[in-house]
Chain A
Amino acid sequence: MSGTREAVLKRIRSAIGGSSADAAAREAEREVLPREYRRAGSLDADARLAMFIERLHEYDANVVRTDAARVAVAIGAILQEHGQRSVIVADGFPVEMLPDPITPKSGAAGGPAESFAFRREEKANVEDLDRCDGIITSCFAGIAFTGSIVLTHGPGEGARRFTLLPDRHLCVVRTEQVVETVPEAMDRLAGFATAPITFISGPSATADIEMMRVRGVHGPRFLDVVLVG
């Protein structure tokens, strides 16, 4: 097999007219490649968040905007609205953001308080993830222009399978995490380039049958975003 490696490299070198080993020349060439596209956004904070919300909506995500003091209430209301009882929380997700598991401080006026149980990610196996009603995570960044959420699967963001198997994903995004453009998000990711990274843009979807968008194929069918700040 090492024979193949050498043979392929030899064919490449003969095709490009010699080896490209001169690192300095290559780097110099790379540095002047045209990159005239838009890097930085131009919107103010309000317009940026409005765009983020609008585009999440267009991908069928539910969005709730709240402030730091009322996150737990907002999360409780979402869980109650969808009758989620068995909920798994990503390891490292801030506990103070979770509603009281027994008597939710529900925002659903007058509705009967349903009890829901939280479990920690580390205590849940694949079958638990497959069967639970939903999961809760934070995120690394949000991108307004594309309506995307970026995870680097650090503390609070869950392992990759965690945000994949359950039917509902509730994700908490802080307003200062939301950038406008994709290059701005990539700048923030520069220090995390070798971490596992997942961009999520709406719930999983397909248009393979007659080009009709169907939500929820193999990943979560529902994405709830709680925007804080």
Chain B
Amino acid sequence: MTVRVGESARALPFQKAALPLLDDAQLRKNVRHATDTIQRKRGLVVAEQTDWQELRTAASAIKRHTLKHLDTYLTQFEERFTAAGGVVHWASDADEANRIVLGLVQQYGGKEVIKIKTMTSDETRLNEALEQAGVHPYETDLAELIIQLGHDKPSHIVVPALHKNRAQIREIFLREMGLKELGNRPEDLTAAARRFLREKFLRVKIGVSGANFLIAETGGVCIVESEGNGRMCLTMPEVLISMAGIEKVIPSFEDLEVFLQLLPRSATGERMNPYNSIWTGTHEDDGPKHFHVVLLDNGRTSILADKESRQTLHCIRCAACLNTCPVYRQTGGHAYGSSYAGPIGAIFTPQVLNMEHAQSLPYASSLCGACYEVCPVKINIPEVLIHLRGRVVREQKSALDPEALGMKAMATVFGSRHRFEAAQRLARVGQWPVVSHGWVRHLPGMMGNWTAVRDMKAIPDQPFRAWWKQRQKKQEKQA
């Protein structure tokens, strides 16, 4: 199997990849501006939804229930979707999914496809696979278009080009659209994209999309979007191919009332995004004549198998955890080396890769818990991060790894009061070469990794226990 998430298997460790990004002042300014704006808007519309916590609880329960019965709900979706005129395909991994999509495009005789922003196709690197076979994919979401024309990588789940400002985008459009003149107001740039894409919407016969929700009860598919490019891609072409992770299924049509209230407020800070489309199979005289859904595993079943982190699959890709994360807000998305950045990426990516790659990601967090607080489906991301850090040590590091040995020794010391106090006494005497003014700022050797990014209080002359004993004795005397 070739499970992959974008290019994460070859990505640098987070801590290394983050360094040059931290030096990019423009990028950090752009990221901070964008995440601040979304967070402010989100705060307003979440506050007015007085039943927000009840919605989160319901969403989390629906997702937990769905995953527990995932085989049934997927086959139910398959049955109803097929009855409504669609065709379901199953893909074990990224390559198989790409092969299926390419096969369909070739079967319908297409040389071009128009695409709605889809995280799953980014995950499987579908565009590359299509291009290699001579099929040209046109990204139609404005931000994805900016990324595609700029030969760049997305850095955010919802607004993938947030690291670019208007001047940078203008440069890209001038160059890649072959324009002579172009203003730099967002209105001018948006109008250029509208003109560039309108002709494609009317001409290209095959659309490719992801899916926000697959409805088991009806065989329906739901896509939420803002620009209308989604509606274009799913109604204008003759053929529509939607690639969706197996965790995207929900049991009933009614369940949408929960997610359609949570998703827009969390993702863009809107009461409702401009367009939600729900449709079931093919409809006569309205929309594509052929509709295919590719159900993608690509490592998701290995997340499902780990009970403690299964909740990772609740994710509805709103990116609220990115916007609030103190780490993401400093580095932006590229440091994560994956299609999925931020806290959700830090738990999703290493798990689908079976912990064999992206092992640095569970450490790309201060465990502050802000991500859990904003998550509309209540994924306890800090809990999963800690669980995954444990898995990295247990599954990936040799027992003779110096860090593992060090930790084992620490555990022995901390496990007994006697040994702990002895170690304290020893450290108090031995620490003088590294202490200055009561702080340890640089430790030698491997332990230097710890002090590279933080200072540590020196071991005090008198530990708390000794001070307490002394205080009690004094009080007894006075009594």
Contact of B61 with A37 in the complex, beta carbons under 8 Å? no
Scoring B residues 260 to 290 as 1 if CB is less than 8 Å from chain A, else 0, what string do you get? Answer: 1100000010111111111111010111000
Contact of A207 with B228 in the complex, beta carbons under 8 Å? no
Residue of B161, B194, B256, B280 near A216 (CB, 8 A) is: B194
A109 interface contact, C-beta 8 A: no
Contact of A205 with B227 in the complex, beta carbons under 8 Å? yes
Contact of B272 with A36 in the complex, beta carbons under 8 Å? no
A23-76 residues at the B interface, CB under 8 angstroms: 23, 26, 29-30, 33-38, 55, 59
With A7-B92, A9-B74, A218-B140 already in contact, the answer to whether A201 and B227 are too (CB < 8 A) is: no
A5 interface contact, C-beta 8 A: yes
Note all chain A residues with C-beta closer than 8 A to B165: 210
A155 interface contact, C-beta 8 A: no
B149 interface contact, C-beta 8 A: no
Note all chain A residues with C-beta closer than 8 A to B475: none
CA distance A159 to B286 in the complex (A): 6
Expressed in whole angstroms, the minimum distance between the Cβ of A179 and any Cβ of chain B is 12
Scoring A residues 155 to 199 as 1 if CB is less than 8 Å from chain B, else 0, what string do you get? Answer: 000011100100000000000000000110010011001111111
A95 interface contact, C-beta 8 A: no
Contact of A30 with B251 in the complex, beta carbons under 8 Å? yes
Residue of A9, A143, A196, A214 near B186 (CB, 8 A) is: A214
With A196-B283, A218-B201, A218-B228 already in contact, the answer to whether A38 and B50 are too (CB < 8 A) is: yes
Expressed in whole angstroms, the minimum distance between the Cβ of B5 and any Cβ of chain A is 18
Note all chain A residues with C-beta closer than 8 A to B62: 33
B187 interface contact, C-beta 8 A: yes
B51 interface contact, C-beta 8 A: yes
With A12-B71, A218-B201 already in contact, the answer to whether A186 and B236 are too (CB < 8 A) is: no
Interface-forming stretch among B30-38, B206-214, B412-420, B461-469? B30-38
Note all chain B residues with C-beta closer than 8 A to A147: 271-272
Contact of A208 with B143 in the complex, beta carbons under 8 Å? yes
CA distance A7 to B285 in the complex (A): 37
Expressed in whole angstroms, the minimum distance between the Cβ of B373 and any Cβ of chain A is 19
CA distance A159 to B284 in the complex (A): 10
B75 interface contact, C-beta 8 A: yes
Query: Considering only CB atoms, which chain B residue lies closest to A2 in the complex?
Result: B90
Contact of A218 with B227 in the complex, beta carbons under 8 Å? yes
Note all chain B residues with C-beta closer than 8 A to A115: none
Expressed in whole angstroms, the minimum distance between the Cβ of A30 and any Cβ of chain B is 6
CA distance A198 to B283 in the complex (A): 14
Query: Considering only CB atoms, which chain A residue lies closest to B62 in the complex?
Result: A33
With A12-B246, A36-B51, A205-B227 already in contact, the answer to whether A164 and B235 are too (CB < 8 A) is: yes
Contact of B286 with A153 in the complex, beta carbons under 8 Å? yes
CA distance A89 to B96 in the complex (A): 45
With A147-B272, A200-B274 already in contact, the answer to whether A20 and B295 are too (CB < 8 A) is: no
Interface-forming stretch among B123-131, B297-305, B335-343? B297-305
B193 interface contact, C-beta 8 A: yes
CA distance A6 to B433 in the complex (A): 64
Contact of A161 with B235 in the complex, beta carbons under 8 Å? yes
Contact of B220 with A194 in the complex, beta carbons under 8 Å? yes
B395 interface contact, C-beta 8 A: no
Interface-forming stretch among B52-60, B382-390, B421-429, B446-454? B52-60
Contact of A212 with B186 in the complex, beta carbons under 8 Å? yes
Contact of A37 with B55 in the complex, beta carbons under 8 Å? yes
Contact of A5 with B90 in the complex, beta carbons under 8 Å? yes
Scoring B residues 352 to 366 as 1 if CB is less than 8 Å from chain A, else 0, what string do you get? Answer: 000000000000000
B84 interface contact, C-beta 8 A: yes
Note all chain A residues with C-beta closer than 8 A to B302: 15
Query: Considering only CB atoms, which chain B residue lies closest to A207 in the complex?
Result: B268
A134 interface contact, C-beta 8 A: no
Residue of A8, A127, A130, A217 near B227 (CB, 8 A) is: A217
Expressed in whole angstroms, the minimum distance between the Cβ of A156 and any Cβ of chain B is 14
A146 interface contact, C-beta 8 A: yes
Note all chain A residues with C-beta closer than 8 A to B228: 164, 204, 217-220
Note all chain B residues with C-beta closer than 8 A to A20: 68-72
B119 interface contact, C-beta 8 A: no
Contact of B301 with A217 in the complex, beta carbons under 8 Å? no
Note all chain A residues with C-beta closer than 8 A to B240: none
Contact of A145 with B271 in the complex, beta carbons under 8 Å? yes
Note all chain B residues with C-beta closer than 8 A to A36: 51, 54, 57-58
Scoring B residues 144 to 184 as 1 if CB is less than 8 Å from chain A, else 0, what string do you get? Answer: 00100000000000010110011001000000000000000
With A214-B186, A218-B229 already in contact, the answer to whether A208 and B161 are too (CB < 8 A) is: yes
Expressed in whole angstroms, the minimum distance between the Cβ of A122 and any Cβ of chain B is 10
A104 interface contact, C-beta 8 A: no
Expressed in whole angstroms, the minimum distance between the Cβ of A54 and any Cβ of chain B is 11
Note all chain A residues with C-beta closer than 8 A to B67: 16
B76-93 residues at the A interface, CB under 8 angstroms: 84, 89-92
B258 interface contact, C-beta 8 A: yes
CA distance A197 to B231 in the complex (A): 11
Contact of B286 with A130 in the complex, beta carbons under 8 Å? no
Expressed in whole angstroms, the minimum distance between the Cβ of B303 and any Cβ of chain A is 8
B197 interface contact, C-beta 8 A: yes
B202 interface contact, C-beta 8 A: yes
CA distance A197 to B220 in the complex (A): 10
Contact of B275 with A199 in the complex, beta carbons under 8 Å? yes
Query: Considering only CB atoms, which chain B residue lies closest to A6 in the complex?
Result: B90
CA distance A214 to B189 in the complex (A): 10
Query: Considering only CB atoms, which chain A residue lies closest to B37 in the complex?
Result: A211
Expressed in whole angstroms, the minimum distance between the Cβ of B284 and any Cβ of chain A is 10
Contact of B71 with A13 in the complex, beta carbons under 8 Å? yes
Q: Given contacts A182-B257, A193-B220, A194-B219, list 7 more A-B pairs with CB under 8 A.
A: A1-B100, A4-B91, A193-B217, A198-B278, A210-B186, A211-B162, A214-B187
A/B interface sample: 28 pairs, CB < 8 A: A1-B89, A9-B74, A12-B301, A15-B304, A19-B71, A20-B69, A20-B72, A34-B58, A36-B51, A38-B50, A38-B54, A130-B202, A164-B235, A190-B254, A194-B219, A196-B277, A196-B283, A198-B275, A204-B226, A208-B142, A208-B159, A210-B30, A210-B165, A210-B186, A211-B34, A211-B37, A217-B228, A219-B231
Listed in ascending order, the chain A residues whose CB lies under 8 Å from chain B are: 1, 4-5, 7-9, 11-16, 19-21, 23, 26, 29-30, 33-38, 55, 59, 126-127, 130, 143, 145-148, 153, 159-161, 164, 182-183, 186, 189-190, 193-212, 214, 216-220
